Amino acid sequence: MNIQLLNQNISDAKTDISLEYLTADQLKKSKNKKALKLAGFKANQDSICFLHNKNTLVCGVDSHTADDVRSVSAVAIKALKNTEYKSANIAIEDKTLIPALVEGFVLGGYSYEVYKTTKSKPKLKDISLIYTKDDYKSAIKVFSDAVIVADATCFTRDIVNTIPEDLNPVTFAKLAKKLAKENGLGCKILDEKALAKENCTSMLAVGRASRHESQLIHLSYKPKNAKKKVNLIGKGLTYDSGGLSLKPGASMVTMKMDKAGACAVLGIIKAASEMKLDVEINAFIGAVENMIGGDAYKPDDVLVSRNGKTIEVRNTDAEGRLVLADVLDYAQDKVKADYMFDFATLTGACMVAVGQYTTGVMGHSSKLKHSVGKASANAGELTASLPFNKHLKKQIKSEIADICNISNKPYGGAITAGLFLDAFIKEENKDKWLHFDIAGSAYTESPWDVNVYGGTGAGVRFMSEFLKSL
């Protein structure tokens, strides 16, 4: 589907159907109010009504804010894809709503059919945003950035949705190399031999029982006049069986999504490089498969992490934090950054705390959390801060090692996982770092907002917004 921004009168638009967004108050003044009343249309949020004789699709919104516009645009595009219309338009006067429209149409219209033998073939090919104001040049920049971020989110969704047989640590590294070549990024891949030299023994233990070698991927985007340096770290469990602490059968389904943090990091650096942001970005990914076998790491093992801390393993299904412990330490040694953010589908406990739609945010800097929260609100993604405290920190104390990989109590699991990662953040970086737990927000089996079944691309939009603010 092609989406474009045109600067012309709406009367000159040559498309099959026009979209009109109405609040309940605007409905009362609509020239089509009689027909809409007969159809039972009340302009409730996300309601739609086709007036085929007028080539119009009327969409209900509670308000003309970005969140409401984005949501109803996703509903509209799904409906249009089931019609015979080949092109559609919508008039827009407020350029701040351009990203919401683009995301609603592009993300709401997304589908992943790689593994289907019969693929859908919607007739709809073109969406035109008709911008009626004079500042078209500045609007084009807003539109261009919105398309880049939406496409990067879809790119991220595609990787999350790829099955583990097709996307394992080695093929993940090949995908990263391909992105680096296409976008002019630096690329360095550490295989298991190189990881051993770097003393990444915690990460290597997790992937030991897999037939696919673990990989540490480092991509870099370095513009000439970078104003800031940002490190992005992604958990890339291409599949997680739980290891010897085997997951129940039902819980293993959808575990291809355990690489979503790493996928988001790829999507973010892709978007930043295409928007040509004046921010240096270094993306570090720990790509690992957690399997079972005679060589699997075990509960009761004590691992030595890259920074020398010893880790008591009491559950092999708390594996993502073991991978991130080494990757976080490696990233801090290799690049001295102004900000450091990790993305991980780390804990089911985060969903218990904030629900499946929201990303949990943890860290020490209230100022940084506020800045990211503002960016996420502007981008239309939901985030919520979870507080560290010294009492929960006691729950990951080990009697036989420096730290334990799971809490000794069943409560506050998302926070104790964040506190585990905090143990591997150098003191000088504490206020530069935030941890994003996207366990709930990264994948859905029930469509909501602009998200369809499968990977959502969580993190790409709000981090792109934050990077633009720098």
Q: Name, in order, each residue with C-beta under 8 angstroms of 252's C-beta and a sequence gap of 6 or more.
A: 241, 242
Helix (H) or strand (E) holding 215, with range, is: strand 215-221
Write out the DSSP string of 311-350.
EE-S-TT--HHHHHHHHHHHHHHH---SEEEEEE---HHH
In 3D space, the residue among 340, 349, 356 whose CA is nearest the CA of residue 463 turns out to be: 340
- For 268-324, write each residue's pLDDT tens digit: 999 999 999 999 999 999 999 999 999 999 999 999 999 999 999 999 999 999 999
- For 200-240, write each residue's pLDDT tens digit: 999 999 999 999 999 999 999 999 999 999 999 999 999 99
The yes-or-no verdict on residue 175 having pLDDT over 90 is yes
**Six token digits for residue 60:** 């209900």
- Contact by Cβ (8 Å): 79, 55: no
Write out the DSSP string of 272-318.
HHHHT-SEEEEEEEEEEEE--STT---TT-EEE-TTS-EEE-S-TT-
In the chain, the percentage of residues whose pLDDT exceeds 90 is: 97
| Res 10: pLDDT | 76
Assign 344 a pLDDT band (cuts: 50, 70, 90): very high
Write out the DSSP string of 205-239.
HHTTTSSSPPEEEEEEE--TT-SEEEEEEEEEEEE
**Six token digits for residue 466:** 């934050």
Mean pLDDT of the chain: 97
Alpha carbons 283 and 93: distance in angstroms, whole number: 38
| Res 12: pLDDT | 82
Using alpha carbons only, give the angle 452, 458, 460 rounded to the nearest 5 degrees: 120
Kindly indicate whether the domain formed by 2-134 is annotated with CATH number 3.40.220.10: yes
Q: Is the dihedral of CA 173, 344, 434, 142 positive or negative?
A: positive
| Res 47: pLDDT | 98
Mean predicted confidence (pLDDT) in 314-338: 98
Alpha carbons 86 and 36: distance in angstroms, whole number: 24
- Contact by Cβ (8 Å): 439, 351: yes
- Contact by Cβ (8 Å): 261, 240: no
- For 412-434, write each residue's pLDDT tens digit: 999 999 999 999 999 999 999 99
Helix (H) or strand (E) holding 384, with range, is: strand 383-385
Catalytic residues: 247, 321
Alpha carbons 310 and 87: distance in angstroms, whole number: 60
State the residue for tokens 């979503």.
260
| Res 14: pLDDT | 87
As its CATH architecture, domain 164-469 has 3-Layer(aba) Sandwich (3.40)
| Res 132: pLDDT | 87
Q: For 275, phi and psi rounded to 5 degrees?
A: -80, -10
Interhelix angle 460-469/136-161, nearest 10 degrees: 140
Domain boundaries, the chain: 2-134, 164-469
- Contact by Cβ (8 Å): 317, 299: no
Task: Provide the β-strand partners of residue 436.
Answer: 343, 361
In 3D space, the residue among 363, 339, 366 whose CA is nearest the CA of residue 415 turns out to be: 363
Alpha carbons 334 and 332: distance in angstroms, whole number: 6
